[in-house]
A and B are shown apart, each in its own frame.
Chain A
Amino acid sequence: MERDDLIVNESYALNAKHSEEAGKQIRKKLYAVTILLTVITLVEVFMGVAFKRNGTFTWEAIKLTFLVLTLVKAAYIVLIFMHLGDERKNLKYVVLLPYALFIMYLIFIGLYEGVSVQTGHNIFG
């Protein structure tokens, strides 16, 4: 069996190498993302401790903020750390589209089911 990870052809971007200067630029970006992720985490923890849940509109808004912040963090991890952002467009879509479609459907159908179960409990005891 021959190795398939030894490729000289340019189109694989396997030997993607960069110079010292380019490395400096990349590291700068990475440190910026690190700070951003840390700050978002701190904000999340602060919100979790500071805001109380009492079933009002405020708590719903905070819950939504948590979800948005989580997705922002996830996007930075996937696009920068896993550098999916720098991959070809078709790989991006092959990875993200099926996942997003399937998981959104799963969440929708799951939570809809869960709420129905609770409604049933509340009505019939």
Chain B
Amino acid sequence: MAGQAEHVTTDELWGGNRSPFSVSYGKMMMWFFLVSDALTFGGLLTAYGVIRHGSSDLWPVGEQVFEALPGLHGSYPLMYVALMTFILIISSVTMVLAVEAGHRMDKKGVVKWLGLTIIGGFIFLGSQAWEWSHFIHGSGGGFQINQPMTVTAADDAGNTYQITLDNGSWVHMTSDFGHKYEHAMEAAEEPVSHDAHGGHGEHAAAETHEDISTMVPEEIILNKYTLEHKDGKDLRKLVVKGDDVKKIWAAKEEGSMAFGANMHKNEYAIQQQYANFFFFVTGFHGFHVFSGVLINVIIWLMAIKGVFEKRGHYEMIEKIGLYWHFVDLVWVFVFTFFYLI
């Protein structure tokens, strides 16, 4: 770190009579960096919009894809991501309170609020890890059918509908059957190495007894992630039972079977770009959060050591605060475009 020069004049620093922006070099450069970073995220989200507008197939609906809570069964649409948003907003607030404490030269306040900000950042990162894991793992998997057909499907209230499925329609399995079938498929593909599946090892081993060719689901779900409403009717998550299931199962396109999501396949949408954009944009944002937490920890330790007390001002808290608020700002937009619209 450079030495302390207590009396640097404006002339020496800028060559002019005064700072044109009334901010220090560091803060101005942080703003310029954030503008360029915002352009990166703006470009990513716009690219997402381009692909979504250019897609002639239905795009998955946020509240149907993201409706799980850790440790709970059932449907809690958007609750988890709302919680994540709230955590990030609160950590933004604690950061701005740390900045405010810095303006009063209140070292204890800075350490307290910045510490809470770091905790908030870690909670957010953990939440995102869980969400990614859930997204990758999926909830039952789906496949495409290779011939058109008309089936009878029922909603929760017991209303039945005649649904016409086109060639290539995307249908889904229930969570229980889908996971069993996934393990059976894995076991059939690589019978030697199911120990390598970690937590799923035991499952896969147990499932090898079940012959994959005789497995037939009891239920098939239509419109699990995409169509919400049509002609004033709620056609989400229609359940097909009985002979129609066998009809659909016989028409399954073997190679289209997808469980959860990876970089090549996903169960949520026909468009693979959906999963890829999810991974890249939320991943890139998560990387920003991660580096933000690291920077916060470093500055927090410096604040505890009294570096800023000695320096005479807590401007560094303002600079990292700008970065941290920016991370929150990006999440506001990611939240809108990936989960709401």
CB of A61 closer than 8 Å to a CB of B:
no
Q: Mark A97-112, 1 if CB is under 8 A from B, else 0.
A: 0110011001100110
By a CB distance below 8 angstroms, the chain A residues around B23 are 12-14, 87-88, 91
Q: Mark A9-41, 1 if CB is under 8 A from B, else 0.
A: 101111111111001001100110110011001
CA gap between A29 and B144 in the complex, in Å = 54
- Quick check: A99 and B19 within 8 Å, CB to CB? no
Write the nearest CB–CB distance from B168 to chain A, whole angstroms: 13
State whether A18 and B328 are in contact (beta carbons under 8 Å apart), knowing that A54-B232, A110-B46 are contacts in the complex: no
- Quick check: B92 and A6 within 8 Å, CB to CB? no
Chain B, 209-229, CB within 8 A of any chain A CB: 228-229
Of A9, A18, A38, A88, the contact of B89 (CB 8 Å cutoff): A38
By a CB distance below 8 angstroms, the chain B residues around A118 are 53-56
- Quick check: B61 and A106 within 8 Å, CB to CB? no
State whether A99 and B228 are in contact (beta carbons under 8 Å apart), knowing that A4-B8, A16-B103, A38-B86 are contacts in the complex: no
- Quick check: B8 and A117 within 8 Å, CB to CB? no
Of B55, B89, B100, B234, the contact of A23 (CB 8 Å cutoff): B100
By a CB distance below 8 angstroms, the chain A residues around B51 are 114
- Quick check: B31 and A4 within 8 Å, CB to CB? no
Contact-residue size bin, chain B (C-beta under 8 Å from the other chain): 35 or more
Which of B's residues lie within 8 Å of A, judged by CB? 2-10, 12-13, 18-26, 28, 31-32, 34-35, 38-39, 42-43, 46-47, 49-56, 61-63, 77-79, 82, 85-86, 89-90, 92-93, 95-97, 100-101, 103-105, 228-232, 234, 311-313, 315-316, 321-322, 325-326, 328-329, 332-333, 335-336, 339-341
Which of A's residues lie within 8 Å of B, judged by CB? 1-9, 11-20, 23, 26-27, 30-31, 33-34, 37-38, 41-42, 44-45, 47-49, 52-54, 63, 66-67, 70, 73-74, 77-78, 80-82, 87-88, 90-91, 94-95, 98-99, 102-103, 106-107, 110-111, 113-118, 121-122
